[in-house]
Copies of this chain bind each other. A is one copy, B any other.
Amino acid sequence: MTSPAFDFAPLFPAGLPAPAAKWTGLAKYSFVGGNNDPDQVPVEGLIEAVNAVLRREGKTLATYGLASGPQGYLPLRQFLTAKLQSDAGIDCAADEILIVSGSLQALDLVNATLLARGDTIIIERDSYQGALNRLTRLGVNVVGIPLDHDGMRMDALAQALADLKRRGITPKYIYTIPTVQNPTGTIMPLARRAELLKLAGQYGVPIFEDDCYADLIWDRQRPPALHAMSRNGGVIHIGSFSKSIAPALRVGYIVAPWSVLSRMLALKTDAGSGALEQMVLAEYCAPHFSSHVPKLTRGLRAKLETLMEALNEQFGTAAEFDDPKGGIFLWVKLPDQVDTLKLYQAALAAGVAINPGPEWSTDKVHAGPRLRLCFASPSHEQIREGIALLAEICRREFGVPARSANVEKRGRA
């Protein structure tokens, strides 16, 4: 470059998000992101699968969509029809499944198909940051419904629907993570699912069911999906292989009636999702998924135990949480004086990454002293050390947990 550098900034349209910061590596103690346990990636099984499928069908990589068309690799959709039937009670054909590049693309496609700026949707008050951020960017009004130990509260949902109706507003959808809710880890019981479907039907609102974490349940007692229980087909169901196999493989899926799936497909102008990842997943999962997942969840449960122990030791009663029924995250409440957005900054500077509650909630006040801790990726040792360090920082910044408790606990460690 010998001329003055071209300035792109005047060309940027209004509303462009702030520039991304340069990536500087993972935190030493990383409790963020849906990352999984590196020791639980079934590397040998994936190698075996990729060898078999490439040797058999490698030439099909010359064709966009392989020989399966734009909805995704047919053997993967066939695996999913069987899996969804046995695990979630969903009765769907391979033609009602669209393979996507991770469930984030599913969120984008569902949103693009149903939402316009100014629309209203209903969501669990504490919910997935990736869903919340998208809605904000789209200019959609978000009504948060509080949760209890069984997930979204139906009394609050009924009231919100009635309130909206009174104001002449029909929400475009009710977004829910009914099975291992993110971040609370709750599982909505069968009876409440029926109530939710009844309310949705009564108000003519579809349900957007995000079942991304539903494979990871400690006791394997997974209720039927809302999609399976629906009597009018008004449920769009999405899922992913990120939590069950590996997040860096960007493969998710949407199950929906063709009338709406065909609109999403028209918006999916990416010439198909990555074929090799679909092929290796189909080849690996058909024989191995049902034995891999229980092994994975046992390992996750053990890490969760370590995390809960470490929190009890380091924070004592200052850290409140429910023992989640599955998943990879723990939703923790600290004393009200703790501002987790500030804690996040201070902790990050010390090498501990956490998710501050306000980023995972529609209610910034309620979520102010809360945080999400992901436990799948760090080792048991990193969990213990990271939580000790977090407690130290929290005490320094906010005076809790009280020093004495911590010193006592650390003496025992």
CB–CB B248/A63 < 8 A: yes
Alpha-carbon gap, A119 to B246, bound state (A): 41
Tier of interface size on chain A: 35 or more
Q: Is A3 an interface residue (CB 8 A)?
A: yes
Give chain A interface residues in 1-48, CB to chain B under 8 Å.
Answer: 1-9, 11-14, 16-23, 25-26, 33-41, 43, 46-47
CB–CB B50/A20 < 8 A: no
- Minimal beta-carbon separation of A32 from chain B (angstroms): 10
Of all chain B residues, the one with the shortest Cβ separation from A116 is B13
Q: Is A87 an interface residue (CB 8 A)?
A: no
Q: Is A265 an interface residue (CB 8 A)?
A: yes
Alpha-carbon gap, A108 to B268, bound state (A): 12
CB–CB B114/A12 < 8 A: yes
CB–CB B271/A249 < 8 A: no
Q: Is A297 an interface residue (CB 8 A)?
A: no
Q: Is A141 an interface residue (CB 8 A)?
A: no
- Chain B residues near A410 (CB-CB < 8 A): none
Q: Is A172 an interface residue (CB 8 A)?
A: yes
CB–CB A250/B270 < 8 A: yes
- In the complex, identify which listed stretch (A228-236, A312-320, A351-359, A391-399) lies at the interface while the others stay far away: A228-236
- Chain B residues near A233 (CB-CB < 8 A): 1, 5-6
Of all chain B residues, the one with the shortest Cβ separation from A36 is B62
Q: Is A257 an interface residue (CB 8 A)?
A: yes
Q: Is A54 an interface residue (CB 8 A)?
A: yes
Alpha-carbon gap, A338 to B70, bound state (A): 31
One of B35, B50, B275, B377 near A250 (C-beta < 8 A) = B275
- Chain B residues near A43 (CB-CB < 8 A): 54-55, 58-59, 61
CB–CB A5/B257 < 8 A: yes
Q: Is A85 an interface residue (CB 8 A)?
A: no
One of B5, B20, B39, B273 near A232 (C-beta < 8 A) = B5
CB–CB A12/B266 < 8 A: no
Of all chain B residues, the one with the shortest Cβ separation from A234 is B6
* A interface majority secondary structure: loop
CB–CB B3/A62 < 8 A: no
One of B4, B51, B134 near A47 (C-beta < 8 A) = B51
Known: A276-B277, A277-B274. A46 touches B20 (CB 8 A): no
CB–CB A60/B34 < 8 A: no
Alpha-carbon gap, A22 to B275, bound state (A): 19
CB–CB B133/A266 < 8 A: no
CB–CB A114/B11 < 8 A: yes
Known: A63-B38, A249-B275. A232 touches B3 (CB 8 A): yes
- Chain B residues near A382 (CB-CB < 8 A): none
- Chain B residues near A251 (CB-CB < 8 A): 274
- In the complex, identify which listed stretch (A98-106, A152-160, A329-337, A363-371) lies at the interface while the others stay far away: A98-106
CB–CB A250/B272 < 8 A: yes
Known: A270-B102, A272-B250. A47 touches B54 (CB 8 A): yes
Known: A47-B51, A64-B34. A274 touches B246 (CB 8 A): no
Given contacts A38-B62, A61-B248, 12 further A-B contacts (CB under 8 A): A1-B230, A7-B259, A18-B266, A34-B271, A46-B54, A62-B246, A101-B270, A101-B274, A108-B269, A130-B269, A134-B269, A248-B274
Chain A positions within 8 Å of B, measured between CB atoms, are 1-9, 11-14, 16-23, 25-26, 33-41, 43, 46-47, 50-51, 54-55, 58-67, 69-71, 95, 101-102, 104-105, 108, 113-116, 119, 130, 133-134, 172-173, 201, 206, 230-234, 246-251, 257-260, 262-263, 265-267, 269-277, 280, 376-377
* Contacts A/B (CB < 8 Å), 14 sampled: A12-B263, A16-B267, A17-B267, A36-B63, A38-B62, A41-B59, A41-B62, A43-B61, A46-B54, A51-B51, A61-B248, A101-B250, A130-B269, A248-B272
